[in-house]
Structure 1
Amino acid sequence: MTKRDEAGTLRPSAAEWVGRQLGAGERIVGVEVLHGGITAEMRRLVVATPDGGTRDLVLRTFVDPHHVRHAEELLTREAGVLALLAGTGVTAPGPVAVDAKAMHCEYPSLLMTHLPGRTVLDDEGLAERVPLLARQLVAIHALRPAVRPQEYEAWTTAERVVPPTGADAAAWSAAVDVIRKPAPAYEGRFLHRDFQPGNVLFDVSGRPRITGVVDWVQTSWGPADIDVAHCSTNLALLHGPAWGTRFAEAYEEAGGVLAPAARERLYWRLLDALGFAAEADLVARPWRAAGRAELTTPVVEGRLDGYVVALLEVLG
């Protein structure tokens, strides 16, 4: 979801830096704030070209202290991944310029090309989109770069999990016990690491199709199950617990390979799901801003609880 804003919202140093990346006779004529992200400010920049047309760029800016501290690593990694993805068949933005240390801009920034399409978070049409999401993730996992990205990191531990208010205490205790065990062995894959509907662009003018995948900041190497788990949790919170389990089925139907044993699959699904326990409101905020006003914190926490219970019933 976007909101029209004045060009003046682009900070002066950033505007000057972006201007130096443009071609002869090009200039910024508009700025559109892109809503839906959690970790960064995102802006679409409308650039006038000498032939009288326009083209679009996207500027990612880290402004909160935590991400500013890690910006050099994160933005440099994303720029490298975007360059790597060119020509692979996985459509992603192209890197234009990066100021990871904020040597030119007020804050660390990455300038990239703009992709057509938009995120779609509605319940309507979900049955058509889930197989597309699954096929896209299979394609990502099939990539074999010459240089592997960093090893994946778990986003929670058994000691850090705090169940939501009103959650099924017995189920959550059992779930925590599952992720307390050592991680199962796995065959490594190229991971997006934040693959979920908010980072996938669709053209829904006719039959839906994916036009690109964005936000490659967390790209890693690790088990396919963790990427599948993350998208599954997001779908469960957005659309209901049943859609979380459905995505894993769609991934296998698309040719993806998951851990062979149910207990291994359960570990990865719960490792991701339990990481949302303390962040339900943070995750739901951009969804509400995108029009899903019914996704209040209690609703999202209730769906998370239902999803954890369902995982234990299906895979436990």
Structure 2
Amino acid sequence: MEKLLRWVSEQTGSDVVAVTSLRGGWTSEMRRVRLADGREVVVRSFVTEFFRRHAEGLLEREAGMLRALTDVEGVPAPRLLAVDATAQSGEAPSLVMSLLPGSVDVQADRSPQLAEQLVAIHRVRIDPRPREFQVWVSPSTVRVPEATNRPEVWTRAVELIGRELPPYDGVLLHRDFHPGNVLFDGERVTGVVDWVETSWGPADLDVAHCSTALALLHGPEVGARFADLYVAAGGRVSTDLRHWRVLDALGFAPDAEKVAGPWRELGRTDLTPGVLRDRLERYLLQVL
């Protein structure tokens, strides 16, 4: 890590005096770094082989978005300080950004604030617009839970996403908007982080992704009502919302374990694979 911290010092113009690991992520290592001049910054580093292989595209995309969102009213994103997407200067592909106030809250249901924040993101217009969205699951890659008592739910869901994607009017997508990527200070949103998957596509897809996360964290009913809160906050969803909801939910099958690990680190030890599998299945049933 010495080489990486030397690079951070060079890029920020101040010596590093303390480093603290941050919890709650699974794609990268996140560190809070205190500098000799009193500033604190956050360093994201991709260290696993899969994400190192894709780091250049991911980090350059995030860097571009942080530049574009500088001073955008209503979207509290970090400020970009430095990026080394190909690990030329450090030990791993890394990005340095400002430290935002607040913290992640996966305990309380913050659906109304999340809905308002998502509407604000979807109203942002940038030029050039980001890449078109990518689909993260297909009928051939869905992993159906082996222990399911409702095989017909999964059959219906897989059949649905096998149809042609619905037409849509595009907006700026965060693409990974969920409670783990939003910071709160009390009831107030103070930050939205993790912009590596930013893309252009249907607002329904961001709504669907947050809905699935809320269903897993707080129960199917909470996830199912998020779209109504989004509309109440001024957003618009299409008549094809069900397709996008099912498409997103199937990406978490069979038990959402990849996101549950970080959530458990943040205190949600109740989210066992069995609990998550049951909530995901009941959410799918409700959506269908």
Q: Same fold (TM over 0.5)?
A: yes
Match of 1:280 in 2: 256
- C-alpha deviations, 1:1-29, integer Å up to 9, x for none? xxxxxxxxxx0110110110123xx3211
What one-letter code is carried by the residue in structure 1 that aligns with 2:135? A
**Which of these residues, 173, 188, 191, is aligned with residue 155 of structure 2?**
173
- Contact kept? 1:119, 1:197, Cα under 8 Å: yes
Match of 2:21 in 1: 33
Tell me whether 1:144 sits opposite 2:125 in the alignment. yes
Tell me whether 1:79 sits opposite 2:55 in the alignment. no
CA distance in 2, matches of 1:278, 1:294: 17
- Contact kept? 1:46, 1:56, Cα under 8 Å: yes
CA distance in 2, matches of 1:247, 1:173: 25
**Which of these residues, 214, 219, 230, is aligned with residue 193 of structure 2?**
214
- Contact kept? 2:255, 2:274, Cα under 8 Å: no
Q: TM-score scaled to structure 1, two decimals?
A: 0.89
- Contact kept? 1:164, 1:305, Cα under 8 Å: no
Tell me whether 1:310 sits opposite 2:286 in the alignment. yes
Please state how far the C-alpha of 1:163 moved relative to its aligned partner: 1.4
- C-alpha deviations, 1:86-111, integer Å up to 9, x for none? 12111100111111010011110001
Helix, strand or coil: the match of 2:18? strand
Match of 2:6 in 1: 16
Determine which structure has more spread, i.e. the larger CA radius of gyration. 1
Q: TM-score scaled to structure 2, two decimals?
A: 0.97
Helix, strand or coil: the match of 2:83? strand
CA distance in 2, matches of 1:289, 1:87: 32
CA distance in 2, matches of 1:225, 1:198: 19
CA distance in 1, matches of 2:145, 2:36: 49
Helix, strand or coil: the match of 1:32? strand
- Contact kept? 1:132, 1:209, Cα under 8 Å: yes
Unpaired runs of 5+ in structure 1? Answer: 1-10
Helix, strand or coil: the match of 1:98? strand
What one-letter code is carried by the residue in structure 1 that aligns with 2:8? V
Tell me whether 1:253 sits opposite 2:232 in the alignment. yes
**Which of these residues, 262, 268, 275, is aligned with residue 299 of structure 1?**
275
Unpaired runs of 5+ in structure 2? Answer: none
- Contact kept? 1:192, 1:218, Cα under 8 Å: yes
CA distance in 2, matches of 1:228, 1:107: 33
Match of 1:189 in 2: 171
What one-letter code is carried by the residue in structure 1 that aligns with 2:63? A
- The percentage of aligned residue pairs carrying the same residue is 51
Tell me whether 1:95 sits opposite 2:71 in the alignment. no
Structure 1: which 4+ aligned runs deviate by more than 2 Å?
none
**Which of these residues, 49, 58, 65, is aligned with residue 65 of structure 1?**
49
Match of 2:265 in 1: 289
Please state how far the C-alpha of 1:165 moved relative to its aligned partner: 3.0
